């Protein structure tokens, strides 16, 4: 699946370990997402986004937050003056589901220009 095909999908509720993606599926999807990596805990994917100043960082956070509410799928955020680290994981699955990759792809399209 390409980045644009991922970004065109919408999250659906995914609950239970049967929705967890295996290592090969995660590798295949990560290959479509520039700069995204597995998190240290192995249960998520992360990327740190850099911005020139605080208001650009906050604008990004607000755009991500709006999308996340629409999708009912929410990232962990860690931010400072010029950066925001996003962490996507599916709590209801206890690891990575397709929802995490759909949202990561949507973040990439938010930034595309």
Ligand X SMILES: C[C@H](O)[C@H](O)[C@H]1CNC2=NC(N)=NC(=O)C2=N1
Per CB under 6 A, residues contacting ligand X are 13, 72-74, 89-92
Distances (CA, A) of 97 to 40, 57, 58, 67, 84: 17, 27, 27, 17, 22
Backbone phi, psi, residue 10, to 5°: -125, 150
| Interstrand relation of 37-38 and 76-80 (parallel, antiparallel or unpaired) | unpaired
Q: How far is the CB of 43 from ligand X (least distance, A)?
A: 10
Q: How far is the CB of 49 from ligand X (least distance, A)?
A: 18
Cβ closest to ligand X, residue 32 vs residue 89: 89
Cβ closest to ligand X, residue 57 vs residue 89: 89
Cα–Cα distance for residue pair 78/93, rounded to 1 Å? 22
Cβ closest to ligand X, residue 20 vs residue 56: 20
Output the six-digit token pair for 98: 């397709």
Q: How far is the CB of 12 from ligand X (least distance, A)?
A: 9
Q: How far is the CB of 44 from ligand X (least distance, A)?
A: 9
Residue number closest to ligand X, CB atom: 92
Cβ neighbours of 107 (radius 10 Å): 23
Cβ closest to ligand X, residue 3 vs residue 11: 11
């Amino acid at each position: 699946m390409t980045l644009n095909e991922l970004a065109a999908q919408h999250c659906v509720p995914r609950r239970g370990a049967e929705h967890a993606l295996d290592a090969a599926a995660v590798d295949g999807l990560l290959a479509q997402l520039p700069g995204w990596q597995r998190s240290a805990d192995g249960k998520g994917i992360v990327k740190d986004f850099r911005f020139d100043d605080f208001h650009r960082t906050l604008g990004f956070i607000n755009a991500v937050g709006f999308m996340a509410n629409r999708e009912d799928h929410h990232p962990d955020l860690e931010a400072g003056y010029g950066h925001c680290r996003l962490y996507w994981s599916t709590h209801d699955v206890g690891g990575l589901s397709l929802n995490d990759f759909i949202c990561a792809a949507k973040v990439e399209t938010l930034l595309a220009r």
